[in-house]
Structures are given as structure tokens and as C-alpha cells.
Homo-oligomer: A and B are copies of this chain.
Amino acid sequence: MKQWTVTSPGMRNLMLTTAPIPAPGEHEVLVRVEAVSLNFRDIGVIEGEEGAAMPFPLTPGSDLAGRVVATGSRVTRFQKSDVVLGTFWAGWLDGDWPAEARVLGGSLPGVLAQYVVLHEDWLVHAPRTLDAVRASTLPCAGLTAWFALIEKGGLRAGQTVLVQGTGGVALFGLQLARAHGAQVIVTTGSDEKRRRALALGASCAIDRTAHPRWDIPAREYTGARGVDHILELAGGDNLGRSLAALRQGGRISLIGVLGEYAMTFPSVPSFLTRPVIQGVGVGHRRALEELVRAVDSIELEPVVDECYGFDRLPEALAHLKRGAFGKIVVKVS
């Protein structure tokens, strides 16, 4: 089989290699990978910047959709031919994050390969209503938005959600909020993306270049009441803007902001507004199973900006780095 391997840190050391198809152990499942969606952290792993990554050479990639082709002797959760998704966190099943949980394509081998062997606990059944390309976007970006807004946030109809930008997590946030009867404000940097966000159901899209104090029109949109939930995807002193846009007792989810910069916000509003600021790092398997049921129930269609062939991974990563509207996916087979 073919798989992508990074021999030593650096994008130029990423190459398509061949390897034997692995065999599943007792509790393991052999999956034929059909699609892998990409995340910013894949770039960090390839460039050797993610702390807990595997030793090189390594295979990157964490989000797969595929089909079970063989099962170990003691596997009970899956059968041959089942269509499955991987869980981003291997070993976080429910409740609190456990110290032993690890990440596929991080401290565990990745999934940018034609076949992978995974413990049966690290897989869930895929939604009935999505093809593999779209389904592969759920394990990280989809689950992050679901975990922030639904599992932790208890979102309800009539609330207002604000998402920053139009990347994968932001657009899932938009779609999930709409499906729960909420209004959605998007901040974005381009007119084209503004139009596409409105077409996806955003009630309001603010150009953050024209409005560096985007919190002011956001607050106005809510009739001065303030936004109920904010997906904070920019970090730095943008967090101060988010606090200014928030309603009394509202919630800000801090999500996977890259870079070293400090989060910063003025102290007084931090207790006058009584916000809940919640760090979110993807989520657990039970929530992914609920997201899958929700996707089938509401017929949510994830936004894939572009889908690349397996051998075009470097181009796909370059597209992601430039900025995508929604997700970038690699079709494996």
C-alpha cells in the first residue's frame, strides 16, 4: 500500500512511500482509508513544531473516513464493510479528558495511508447521509464546533452565536447553530467570504478589516444585549473584543489558536460581564457519536472548499496554509 511519510522535519521531506498492509490485533480493526481531512496541526507535525509528535519518520493526518476490511478476533463494535470515522483523540471516550489519551498523527501514527489499523475504541460509525469526503471533516473540525456550542454550551433556539473567520470550525459552528434555531454572526476579511457565509445562513457578516472594533456592530446586531456564544479562533487581544461583544453571562470558547502570543483582555469587564471562558480541545467519542446522529437528523452538509487526489497532498496542504473556506480534504481511494 501507499502512505505519506515525513522522513525528518520539514515540508520538503514529505514523500509518498510504500509499506505492507498491516494486520489487526485482537481488539483492532483494519480500515481502508477513503478520505482524510486536513487540519492546521498537520502542518505543525510535518514541520516538527508540535511538541508531542511521534519520532520521525512519521505519517501525518488525524481525520479519516473509511471502510472496515478486517477485524481482530475480539472486536465487538464493528463488522467487515462498516463505514467508519476515526476519533481525533484515541482513548477519550466520554466525560473528562484522560491523561492517557493520544492523538492520531500526533503521538500515534497518522492516517494519510491507504490502510490503517486502529483499536476498535478509536472508531465510530459514519453518518448514513454523507459520502467519505464530507464525512472525514467531522472528527476534528465538526466535533470541535459541536463540543463548544452543544456539549459544553447548551445552545438553544433564539440565541446568537458569533464565529471568527470562515475556516472549518467556524463554518461548522455556523451550520450547527443554524440547525438549533440560533442566529449567527460571522467576522471575515474578504467580501467574497462574506457573501458565501451569508449564503450558508449567517444572519450578519462583519468585515473585520473595515471594522477592527467588530464588537460594536456585533453588539448592535443583538439589540445591545450582546452575543450568547463566541467561538474565539483568533486569539491575542482579539479576546478583548470578544468580551466586549458578549452578553452578561455569555460564553467564549477558546479554540486551538496557534502561535505563541498571549491572550489578553482588560480586567474590569472580565468580572462585570460574568463570562464563561472555556478552553476546547476537540472532544470525546460520545459527543462524536451524537454529532453523527445530528448530521443524519438535520442533513447537515459540511463545507469542503476543495478535494485533492491522494498524491496531491502537498498542494492540499499549501491550500490550507493560504486559507480555505471550510475544509480541505484528500481523497485516498
Residues of A near any B CB (own CB < 8 A): 76-77, 93-100, 150, 154-159, 176, 179-183, 235-236, 240, 248-249, 254-257, 259-268, 270-281, 284, 286, 290-298
Contact = CB atoms under 8 A, between A and B. Distances in A.
Given A94-B98, A156-B150, A158-B297, A255 B271 contact: yes
A248 B97 contact: yes
Nearest to A298: B181
Contacts of A255: 271
B249 A96 contact: yes
Contacts of A97: 248-249, 274
A58 B259 CA distance: 50
Contacts of A284: 95
Contact of A275 (B154, B279, B295, B296): B279
Given A256-B271, A271-B281, A297 B182 contact: yes
A298 B182 CA distance: 8
Given A94-B93, A98-B94, A279 B286 contact: no
A78 to B, nearest CB: 12
A82 to B, nearest CB: 15
A99 B248 contact: yes
A212 to B, nearest CB: 17
Contacts of A294: 156-158, 181
Contacts of A154: 154
B290 A248 contact: no
Contacts of A98: 93-94
B158 A293 contact: yes
Contact of A254 (B263, B271, B281, B297): B271
A93 B121 CA distance: 13
Contact of A179 (B181, B279, B280): B181
A25 B77 CA distance: 21
Contact of A279 (B259, B270, B297): B270
Nearest to A297: B158
Contact of A263 (B158, B270, B280, B297): B270
A267 B274 contact: no
B94 A96 contact: yes
